[in-house]
A and B are shown apart, each in its own frame.
Chain A
Amino acid sequence: MKAKSSTARTAPTPAPEHGQSDRFLRSIADHLPGYLSYWDRDDICQFANQRYLDLFGMSMEQVRATPAADLIGAQASAEIAEDVAAVLQGQHRQRERVRWHQGQAMHLWVQFVPDWHDAEVKGYFVLGTDITPLKQAEHELQALNEALILARDRAEAGNLAKSNFLSNVSHEIRTPMNAILGLTHLMQRDNRDPVPAGRLGKLARAAQHLLDVLNDVLDLSKIEAGKLSLEPADFHLNAVLSKVCLLVAEQAKAKGLELVFDVNEQLPAAMHGDEMRLVQALLNLVGNAVKFTASGSVLVRVTPVDDGPAGKLLRFAVRDTGMGVPADRLADLFTLFGQADAGTARRFGGTGLGLAITRRLAELMGGQVGVSSQAQVGSEFWFTARLQVAHALDHGDTQPLMPATRVLLIDDLPEARDANLALALRMGMQATACASVQDAQALLSQAHAAGRPIDLVLLDFPMPGASDLPAVRQLCQSGPVPWPPTVLLTTRDAPTLFNQARQAGCAGVWPKPLLQDEWRTHLLDWRAGEQAQSTGRSALQAGQTPATERRAAGRMRRSFHGFKVLLAEDNPINQEIALELLSTAGLLVDLASDGAQAVKMARLGQYDLILMDVQMPVLGGLQVTREIRRMTQHLRTPIVAMTANAFAADREACLAAGMNDHVAKPVDVGALFSCLHRWLPWRDGAPSAATDEPLAGRAVSVHHAVPTAKPASRFSGIDGLDVQLTLFYLPGRDDILERVLAQFCRAYAQGLAVLHEHIEHGQFEAAHRMVHALRGACGAVGATGLSRQAQTLDELLRAATSGSAPSAALGLLATDLDRSLQRLTVAIQGQLQGQLGTAAVAATAHPMLTSELSVQLGALRRMLGAGEFRANALFQALEPQLRQLHGEGAVKPMAQAVAGFEHLAALAMLDQLMATGLATDLVSPGR
């Protein structure tokens, strides 16, 4: 265009303004709400409407005489040069441009339209439209947007601040919570008295609840921030229900609510998903249902909804018989703090976050939530979650469970009946169910007539027709056919009910709710009980005739007769006890008194079961087990660990080494026999042998109840010996007890002189073995006090580093233990010789010799320097002596430093203390 404007110009052609039509066209052009002009190829404006002319304040002629660059300005013509070139090529062009007019910005939308004539572009039209108002609106919108972005950023910063705040609060709460929960755990571990233990349990629960609330709040803020991610893994669906059940069962029982768990049988046992979050989502619903239901039942039902490529959609529904939720509040329930009214929160507690969390968790798991409710009738809360089916997980319940057992379920609550029936069937039992005792009578008669009598009746209690125990007793004695052993299913407090139920002729009481695992345990116990009712203990039951006793004992022997057991045990007293117990039960026992012997005997023999002491010298039980498992004939032989170590880790170590089960020491006879029943093959004849017994005989069960009758023993007067406990192990057999006690006295008549030697020489491992053996022996003879005393020393020795200097505490404890032990053996021996032993003189205070103290302070110095945790315990043991020697004022700051684990400061103070000269005769700092 510039090039063109510089070429020689021809005279402008006159405007084609002729006559009427021209005036009409101009009139149209002038009335257009835009700026219209026509330019020829020489960049001369040949036509412009009035608005365009007004822009320049020129007439048509003046415009026509002015070159484009002069008219619109050099800058503008450069801006549109490209468009002009293009339109002269025949293209349509358009652009937006700003024009300054009378100091105001004018936004123009400019269109360039070529003027074709005989296949030639003669010129072009330019139409400019004023879009200034549009532009202004756009600007305002943009400004608004920016303001919004700013507001959003501020909100996000606020959210971040909230997150940080929550994180900090979390830290500040968790730190003391750690101390509270941890110390509670330690106190529970070290305290066995029931009253403080009960309080500690409550303390632990309350602290745990507080932590739960905190976690709820944090979880929610995490979900809100989109930071929560699922951690999928394989899990058992039953485990989810068990966990939920465990957490609410107590509360439900306290309110007398019936909890029913019903898992659709078509669902696979193992799924793949985030088990923890699933438990959390379900627990919120079940917990609420229990909380808000005053009476009735809570039903948890899991059903499949559909199968999709991403997995199965499962529906978890929780139905209660609670107060219901008003229809107008339903919608708010799943929102934050959406409890039905503020009063609810006050009455029932809770954070009000549970449902909101469940909703979000369900959504995370590809599901939804919902609720339907009817006031005063109840509500159903549900959520769905999409889970995959796990294949890798083995079921863990493949062991067939009493397949031949015929069970009759009587329950008037349809949901509970159906759920339990389904479970019984799934566990391979032949189960039937009915809703009333009348129907039950009919079914029992039918089964009897068909020659397939029912083995076990599970009776919901209380229910119509069996509303109290006398009614149950009457029921069991009525009817045309003998009533089979009957177990009461109840939400009531089982332990108190148990004895009464037994007197009423019931075979047992199973607390509800019953999940698969509970079913298994109870059934196994019942089965064991059916047999073990004939153990020695049943002889103690009041009202039993010698004839029943003999018959019972005979049956016991019959059931175990011929089974061969290998017993690996190094402690002579424990050997004696176990041999006596096992052979009384009719078992053939081979004894191995150390690990190497056990391996040798296992290699040579066939055994139905191996009982393995874990702590044996030279070759321990774990190693022996590994060796035995390498022998082909013992790949599947049950190996049962016997250990005094109660740590779960120890138990796991046993299982990891290839053992199958675990019995804690001191061995409880009931637990031992339950274990034998679990692992020795079930003999078909045995259970049916029970059915031709009279009802009263069969109804006696050996649930772990201490017999009420306590027969006198000539050893009951011995201080420090819990004879009743011993008798509980070996009922009515003073002769056995006498042998055991004599053995005990022989073993420990000389006291623990060797123990002192071991400790003094830093041979803590040998010392530990001695004390550990003593503990086992104490447990066996019922010396519970002495056993507790030995435990402390046991633990200290176990922790002591061999070769290091013995601590004062060790020496003191060993001395005390020795003294108590000697008192006890003297007393027992007195009784064995027909004389009452005289109680030894009470222990006098045992002031530490200063030379001993100096050794201890040397050890303390070393421990403080090395940051040893034991330094604190040693300091506490020495503190009274130090106070005596150096005074309260000197020792107190040191005590504070030690308690605060300022070990270096404490060390400096100790050195200073000794440098003052008061203690120079005791120990030198350079030592």
Chain B
Amino acid sequence: MSAKLPLILIVDDNPENLSVVGELLQPLCDVRVANSGPRALQLARSDPAPQLILLDVMMPGMDGFEVLAHLRADPTTRDIAVIFLSALSSEHDEARALAAGAVDYLSKPIRPAALLARIKTQIDAQTTRRQARETVAELRAQVQHLHGLLRVHEGSGPVSKTPDWLARQGGGPL
């Protein structure tokens, strides 16, 4: 209860599926629902952004793969984790979904325990990543602070460049 509930967006053209998955997740998550690809993109780009999207594959108009492609093309939504939920149970589709950048693939009918476990895994992973990022940022700040102190002590002009190891620590996504 102390932590904020994770925000999850469910995308499915079938209202029953939205109901079932929504009801299942509702006590544990802040649940948003979209009944089409375009609506999903709209909600994904709104603030606050979902932490995780459960995406149906077969939808009329824009299908799940297309939605995912749009999400990946947009810098604001690129990093949102996507789990495919599909009534197609072929390994080919699974491979295709994972290759397209989905973090997981579950076939319908969904098994509640499995779905909850997979979601938990993703949310936990995100938390861990965020914590790691924060720790590194903190360390980096500390090191830069020390660096600043050093510079003051030496009093011999600015330090020309960040040491390599520090650049590695701070640079780029983890």
Which single member of A170, A183, A185 contacts B87 (CB below 8 Å)? Answer: A170
Q: Which residues of A contact B125 (CB under 8 A)?
A: none
Which of A186, A649, A872 is within 8 Å of B120, CB to CB? A649
Beta-carbon contact of A182 and B20 below 8 Å: yes
CB distance from B160 to the nearest CB of A (A): 45
A174 touches which of B18, B21, B39, B89 (Cβ 8 Å): B89
B77 an interface residue at 8 Å Cβ cutoff?
no
Q: Is the CB of A799 within 8 A of B27?
A: yes
Task: Verify if A768 is at the interface (C-beta below 8 Å from B).
Answer: yes
Residue on B nearest A180 in the bound complex, by CB: B109
Across the interface, which residues of B come within 8 angstroms of A227, CB to CB?
A: 91
Contacts of A649 in B (CB 8 A): 116-117, 120
With an 8 A cutoff between CB atoms, is A106 at the interface?
no
Chain A contact residues: helix, strand, loop or mixed: helix
A residues 175-201 with Cβ under 8 Å of B?
Answer: 175-183, 185-186
Partner of A177, one of B19, B23, B28, B109: B109
Contacting pair B27 A904 (CB below 8 A): no
- Contact yes or no, B32 A183, CB < 8 A: no
Contact B5 A182 (CB under 8 A): no
**Are A769 and B31 neighbours in the complex by a CB distance under 8 Å?**
no
Q: Which residues of B contact A866 (CB under 8 A)?
A: 32, 43, 46
Contact yes or no, A868 B88, CB < 8 A = no
Chain A contact residues (Cβ within 8 angstroms of B): what range? 35 or more
Stretch at the interface among A142-150, A462-470, A515-523, A894-902: A894-902
B108 pairs with A174, CB closer than 8 A: yes
Chain A positions within 8 Å of B171 at CB level: none
Which residues in chain B, 1-54, are within 8 Å of chain A measured between CB atoms? 1-2, 4-5, 9-10, 14-35, 39, 43, 46
Chain A residue with Cβ nearest B46: A866
Cα-based distance from A548 to B20 in the complex (angstroms): 55
Q: What is the size category of the interface that chain B forms with chain A?
A: 35 or more
Contact B4 A182 (CB under 8 A): no
Contacts A167-B90, A178-B110 hold; do A186 and B20 have CB atoms under 8 A apart? yes
A869 CB–B CB distance under 8 Å:
yes
Question: CA separation between A180 and B20, bound complex, in Å?
Answer: 9
* A827–chain B nearest beta-carbon distance, Å: 31
Say whether B148 faces chain A, with CB atoms less than 8 Å apart.
no
In angstroms, how far is the closest chain A Cβ from the Cβ of B87?
Answer: 4
A119 close to chain B: CB less than 8 A: no
In the complex, A730 has a CB within 8 A of chain B: no
In the complex, B107 has a CB within 8 A of chain A = yes
Q: How far is the CB of B12 from chain A (nearest CB, A)?
A: 8
Q: Is the C-beta of A867 less than 8 angstroms from some C-beta in chain B?
A: yes
A532-550: CB near B (< 8 Å → 1, else 0) gives: 0000000000000000000
- With contact pairs A175-B14, A649-B120, A799-B27 given, residues A901 and B33 touching in the complex (Cβ less than 8 Å): yes
The answer to whether B15 touches A178, judged by C-beta atoms less than 8 angstroms apart, is: no
A899: chain B residues at CB < 8 Å are: 15
Separation of A182 and B17 alpha carbons in the complex (Å): 8
> How far apart are B90's CB and chain A's nearest CB, in angstroms?
6
Known: A867-B34, A869-B10. A178 touches B20 (CB 8 A): yes
Which B residues are CB-close (under 8 A) to A374?
Answer: none
Name the distance in Å between A866's Cβ and chain B's nearest Cβ: 6
Q: From the candidates A170, A218, A769, name the one contacting B1 in the complex (CB within 8 A).
A: A769
Q: Is the beta-carbon distance between A182 and B43 smaller than 8 angstroms?
A: no
Q: Is the CB of B109 within 8 A of A178?
A: yes
CB atoms of B1 and A869 under 8 A apart: no
With known contacts A798-B27, A799-B5, A171–B33 Cβ distance under 8 A: no
Question: Once the chains bind, are B15 and A900 in contact (CB under 8 Å)?
Answer: yes
Residues of chain A lying within 8 A (CB to CB) of residue B32: 866-869
Given known contacts A167-B88, A170-B89, A867-B39, A175 and B31 CB-to-CB distance under 8 angstroms: no
The minimal Cβ–Cβ distance linking B167 to chain A, given in whole angstroms, is 35
Chain B residues with CB under 8 Å of A178's CB are 16-17, 20, 87, 108-110
Chain A residue numbers with a CB within 8 Å of B31 are 868-870
Minimum CB–CB distance for B136 against chain A, Å:
24
Residues of A at under 8 Å CB distance from B? 167, 170-172, 174-183, 185-186, 211, 218, 227, 229, 620, 647-649, 765, 768-769, 795, 798-799, 801-802, 866-870, 872, 899-904
Provide a sorted-by-A list of 30 A–B residue pairs whose CB atoms are within 8 angstroms: A170-B89, A171-B88, A176-B16, A178-B16, A178-B17, A178-B20, A178-B87, A179-B19, A182-B17, A182-B21, A182-B110, A182-B112, A186-B20, A186-B24, A229-B91, A649-B117, A799-B26, A799-B27, A801-B5, A866-B43, A866-B46, A867-B9, A867-B34, A867-B43, A868-B30, A868-B33, A872-B19, A900-B15, A902-B35, A904-B39
Given contacts A799-B30, A903-B35, 19 further A-B contacts (CB under 8 A): A174-B89, A175-B17, A175-B87, A176-B16, A179-B20, A182-B20, A182-B110, A649-B120, A801-B5, A867-B34, A867-B39, A868-B33, A869-B22, A869-B25, A869-B32, A872-B19, A901-B15, A902-B35, A903-B33
Residues of B within 8 A of A (CB): 1-2, 4-5, 9-10, 14-35, 39, 43, 46, 58, 87-91, 107-110, 112-113, 116-117, 120
